Structure 1
């Protein structure tokens, strides 16, 4: 009996259309149906927002930038990862070279590190100056949604409090300047974000609509976000969905010149025996590294492949293993994770015969590969990662093979249990297959935190509303229209949100408000690190930040004095402002063969706090159990910092299973002085930062254990 189930995916062809009037395409180019429809939607004054849900590989990027290339539309595009932004920068430059647009748009890529370097190099006084300067120079600006959001949350302004009032620069000093410069705002791969980020972007879009009207917004995603669509409908924002699959603009066999191939035929294998634990994928890769993976490269010379996993530590250990068996044969193995330096990240995608990475490479990056191994933590993640293979026909006549490392109970649901959607050895088209993977009966429920926008996203809304009240002379109707739209969309009373803010301030929980106004969450447990786990990196790229829980679980480390760390960084010409808020400074000296078992510890009785059901700003936490130089000093750093957190009197495994928490949700085991016996399972769960607010929304109306009163 085979150790794998297998299916075969047909090639995919996208319908092409006649070139619209007034559009000049490069020689031998034609537009797909969805590209033409997107351009026409940009030109339609009755449409505010466009959702393009074209299939992976069908040219959504060209659809996004066609207006910039043909109509001179100034564009700000946002990408959830730096790796995707880097990939798209190269892609947009290729479009510019091919189209030769009359206005010769300048293209810039921007993230926090680039902004800091730009400010220092040009001796500018502030981030505000840097952003204004860059936006004046760039007709096409590629950045991340974090920067876009913070511009519209009135960050980067010089502000101070006097007599209880906010003084300083007007709220519109920066956002109106940026919004005047750009007519199209793009949000790529937006489905990777949660409801917290949906609420943030919705607030920003409503601000723009009511202050600098006439702008367009484009969301590129495998599926449109249902929550965002609901908000648009309730607030009166006009949108259009462009869905080629729904309009039958795909076919799965050769059908003449009207159809362009966008995906190659793929053999997809499902190992049958993987347990649902952290080690199963790693063990499968070690076991099959030569018999399956290396053999494919030997059988089909010139192949390129990728392995996409959830764990940085697993990637690091496996990269060394594969180098030992691949490189003697002249095959290059590279890694690309959140801890990989910028130089190696940029080179890895181009140079590697076998690339090992994490989520830094699974979102939208245009790989040229014909071999893929990937973990799929949920249906969206599965489809996202599987979409990396088969995008190019460079490898014919070699086959395209992919291995999905998913738990055996999911494999059984796909192939064995009653009404299973797939049959071993059968052939499927991509639309049918995608529907099977997305079926609610296949993957466990993953919580979407749909109550978050009403509970905490509206805190952001209230802050925007307050600023619009101060700008009443510049935008007479903006405050009223914004308030009405937010109250309709989020089902809130804006004045109640003011009360919630004031209550937090009275309880000395301003950090909670700051957390609600953050985009992805604050970095209150991030450490400054000097990374010695990859000595091939340039020294200036070994200075990084990484979260403490990840370090404790996966790495061997040593304590570094903060002054020594900063001096070394400055000696290596590293801008050090990003390390100012770091919890502590550590040197990573290796990675653990076995994941470390550790937990948070509170030296007092935590039961009353857990029963309160409220987000806290808590001091006094410590770490228990890890081995490593400097743990006592880490405890001092953690204990002395007031941390935004939420504590539940349920253990972590129960909460993850009962509430459907995502795999990387920041929730950890917690013990107190009454429960610190290492033989017992930790009875409490603690969540930090944005995760604390999200967990609170799930438990807000739940009754605590032992009927000890309702959460208020």
Structure 2
């Protein structure tokens, strides 16, 4: 189904005399950044939502601000304008991917140049690989010291929520300092914490961030305000309600838009030609192969055509890159995914900006969230409604192309999405973006909120943080803990006890100890991780998403790390505790292997519909027998859902409306007759919380399913 989407225009800040920044005679922004473009006849270059965000950040009386302006309308500038106008204002920006951290760094440097500020003195980018590099260069250093130095001396820190979480959960240590020093410094120095695109995270991360925000808020409860800003066009209502329950005051700032040229508005998004594609029995790679000539025509029709394909799998992205590079020899086909290192990514960004020939980027979530590409072609696989809206916002942000095309690929496994779309859209219809967003919201599944997770694990997760706080200076930390408990009890009620009984009880069993580890991690180890040596690339990836597409060689950790070191990379990117096996890619294959999990336990020995430690795991269906044994030596925190003879694990996924990237797998036991849907680690915790929805599966004993 093809439709035409109208452009989008954003309302400008009224400017001098009516400005939320308080400008009376002269515009502060134009005065400090004269090169920022201001439409003719207007005094301020900011959109109205950007000016209102500054006012709430600097002068407001709320704790949490949600900027929900449309994708492409400058939410990032809205977040940082306070620091650009006031050189002593400190901000920590938290971004879910390295790609987005680096993209924001490029934007920051551009803004600093406009405002006459020294970016090198003010900005620092912190993520795992960068911390490893600094530690290697320093004679005596560690992550604790490098983070402490950056937080105390830089006005703007761009990092990820994982590092933020590890700091606030007392995970970085240095024997020369108190365990609570780094969290207390983090709570003291920034004036604002910015969470970008936080809607992509689930209930575990939401609970973790609430705990961290409560710590920061209560470290110095009676001094200057500490504010948090969430920038996302599609925030989750339940998360906002969660923050309100804890006593945090919230406010939402939206943009003001029209689809027609209007005085007082400027264009932020171009019109696009959009097609919803029903894949039916085909897969994405087949569609890309069949449409290669169309892709070529669209890119070559422009002077410097630029395209972006977003897939849900790193393995698929690699295969698509190889396929299209072969089919489109006159186009630069490049990959940006979790297996591509920083140097290759920077080279691809350079080609996007400077190459005279067309460029097509094949990416995954590494480019999915927030990264600003100047493109005229966008192709992506469908997901939940919020993700589709975000992905569409990648297209049309920059003028300069004659036509902008988007293709949304809908899997044949979800035919109801196309049927629902037809209830709201007509073929060849021309619609406003607000209408399109409404149609997508109604046709596609909303991101799942999973309230059950918060009820089951939220309080225990908070107890884990409070337990770690107890390892600091008790004289300092005890009153902070008491204030935090008061706040969090408004969310979790009597489940949250200051004496931390649930957390203590978990420590009394092997399963409980594994649960504790997962609750203290931010993103968790929800999949079976493999360390992968792929030519000159080194990365970690989900074993069961990798093996269907590759022939591999099992190597040792020692040989793997030696190769990593020889490539100039840091060993800390490959923590031994979270890696199941070390693999070297021999060959990527075109025909998928039917790889599945097998457990060498009898049906009666397996515990279903509760958390368990699963051992004797192997892989079947791969042509290399030695690969199947790589999991046998480990125990895995797991949750098993029994299936009947004719059921697939997809039925469990559909019942719970789980994301396509959720780690749910098909497993057989020693009988080879009984099958299960299985999830591991943090995904297992989520299934355990949702078992009330699994009654149709869990009420039957596996024995009755066999006999």
User: Matched residues in 1 for 2:397 and 2:693: separation?
Assistant: 46
User: Matched residues in 2 for 1:477 and 1:551: separation?
Assistant: 48
Residue 24 (str. 1) matches residue 29 (str. 2): yes
1:148 alignment partner, one of 150, 164, 170: 164
Deviation at 1:499, TM superposition (A): 3.1
User: Matched residues in 2 for 1:702 and 1:323: separation?
Assistant: 44
Deviation at 1:222, TM superposition (A): 1.3
2:101 alignment partner, one of 85, 96, 101: 85
Contact conserved, 2:385 with 2:446, CA < 8 A, in 1? no
TM-score scaled by length of structure 2: 0.89
2:640 alignment partner, one of 638, 641, 647: 647
Contact conserved, 1:622 with 1:639, CA < 8 A, in 2? yes
Paired position in structure 2 for 1:207: 215
Contact conserved, 1:610 with 1:649, CA < 8 A, in 2? no
Contact conserved, 1:230 with 1:489, CA < 8 A, in 2? no
1:383 alignment partner, one of 385, 389, 409: 389
Contact conserved, 2:315 with 2:545, CA < 8 A, in 1? no
Contact conserved, 2:50 with 2:78, CA < 8 A, in 1? yes
Deviation at 1:511, TM superposition (A): 1.5
User: Matched residues in 2 for 1:24 and 1:78: separation?
Assistant: 25
Could you tell which deviates more after superposition, 643-652 or 494-503? 494-503
Contact conserved, 1:171 with 1:467, CA < 8 A, in 2? no
Residue 179 (str. 1) matches residue 194 (str. 2): no
Paired position in structure 2 for 1:13: 9
Paired position in structure 2 for 1:284: 287
Contact conserved, 2:459 with 2:495, CA < 8 A, in 1? no
2:572 alignment partner, one of 548, 573, 577: 577
Residue 372 (str. 1) matches residue 364 (str. 2): no
User: Matched residues in 1 for 2:115 and 2:610: separation?
Assistant: 56
Q: Deviations over 1:443-473 (max 9, x none)?
A: 2465332221222232221123345566553
User: Matched residues in 2 for 1:607 and 1:91: separation?
Assistant: 58
Contact conserved, 1:231 with 1:490, CA < 8 A, in 2? no
Mapping of 1:166-565 within 5 angstroms? 170-213=178-221, 214-244=225-255, 249-256=256-263, 258-271=264-277, 273-275=278-280, 279-290=282-293, 292-327=294-329, 329=330, 331-352=331-352, 353-395=359-401, 398-407=402-411, 409-410=415-416, 412-416=418-422, 420-439=423-442, 442-444=443-445, 447-467=448-468, 471=473, 473-474=475-476, 477-495=479-497, 498-509=500-511, 510-522=513-525, 525-532=528-535, 539=536, 542-565=537-560
Deviation at 1:286, TM superposition (A): 0.8
User: Matched residues in 2 for 1:586 and 1:482: separation?
Assistant: 45
User: Matched residues in 2 for 1:6 and 1:497: separation?
Assistant: 60
User: Matched residues in 2 for 1:569 and 1:407: separation?
Assistant: 38
Mapping of 1:607-618 within 5 angstroms? 607=604, 609-611=606-608, 613-618=609-614
User: Matched residues in 2 for 1:497 and 1:630: separation?
Assistant: 48
Contact conserved, 1:207 with 1:464, CA < 8 A, in 2? no
Could you tell which deviates more after superposition, 170-179 or 600-609? 600-609
Paired position in structure 2 for 1:695: 687
> CA 1:480–1:577 in structure 2 vs 1: closer, same or farther (change >3 Å)?
closer
> CA 1:607–1:259 in structure 2 vs 1: closer, same or farther (change >3 Å)?
farther
User: Matched residues in 2 for 1:350 and 1:387: separation?
Assistant: 22
Contact conserved, 1:76 with 1:185, CA < 8 A, in 2? yes
Deviation at 1:490, TM superposition (A): 2.9
Contact conserved, 1:646 with 1:695, CA < 8 A, in 2? yes
2:662 alignment partner, one of 654, 662, 665: 665
Q: Deviations over 1:44-72 (max 9, x none)?
A: 25211110000011000100110110123
> Number of paired residues?
662
1:108 alignment partner, one of 124, 141, 149: 124
3-state SS in 2 of match to 1:482: helix
Deviation at 1:155, TM superposition (A): 0.3
Deviation at 1:692, TM superposition (A): 0.6
Deviation at 1:76, TM superposition (A): 0.7
3-state SS in 1 of match to 2:428: coil
1:124 alignment partner, one of 140, 146, 154: 140
> CA 1:316–1:193 in structure 2 vs 1: closer, same or farther (change >3 Å)?
same
User: Matched residues in 2 for 1:274 and 1:619: separation?
Assistant: 38
Paired position in structure 1 for 2:589: 592
Deviation at 1:202, TM superposition (A): 0.5
> CA 1:317–1:260 in structure 2 vs 1: closer, same or farther (change >3 Å)?
same
Mapping of 1:613-632 within 5 angstroms? 613-628=609-624, 630-631=626-627
User: Matched residues in 1 for 2:540 and 2:600: separation?
Assistant: 28
Contact conserved, 2:7 with 2:260, CA < 8 A, in 1? yes
Contact conserved, 2:464 with 2:516, CA < 8 A, in 1? no
3-state SS in 2 of match to 1:706: coil
3-state SS in 1 of match to 2:658: coil
> CA 1:571–1:350 in structure 2 vs 1: closer, same or farther (change >3 Å)?
closer
Contact conserved, 1:270 with 1:406, CA < 8 A, in 2? yes
Contact conserved, 2:309 with 2:379, CA < 8 A, in 1? yes
Contact conserved, 2:247 with 2:490, CA < 8 A, in 1? no
> CA 1:305–1:699 in structure 2 vs 1: closer, same or farther (change >3 Å)?
same
Q: Deviations over 1:98-150 (max 9, x none)?
A: 01249985211111111111112113342211211222332111110010011
Contact conserved, 1:52 with 1:220, CA < 8 A, in 2? yes
Contact conserved, 2:421 with 2:440, CA < 8 A, in 1? no
Contact conserved, 2:386 with 2:447, CA < 8 A, in 1? no
User: Matched residues in 1 for 2:552 and 2:258: separation?
Assistant: 53
Contact conserved, 1:70 with 1:101, CA < 8 A, in 2? no
Uncovered stretches (5+) of structure 1, i.e. residues with no partner = 160-167, 533-538
3-state SS in 1 of match to 2:252: strand
Deviation at 1:241, TM superposition (A): 0.5
Residue 604 (str. 1) matches residue 566 (str. 2): no
Contact conserved, 1:52 with 1:221, CA < 8 A, in 2? yes
3-state SS in 1 of match to 2:52: helix
User: Matched residues in 2 for 1:379 and 1:122: separation?
Assistant: 46
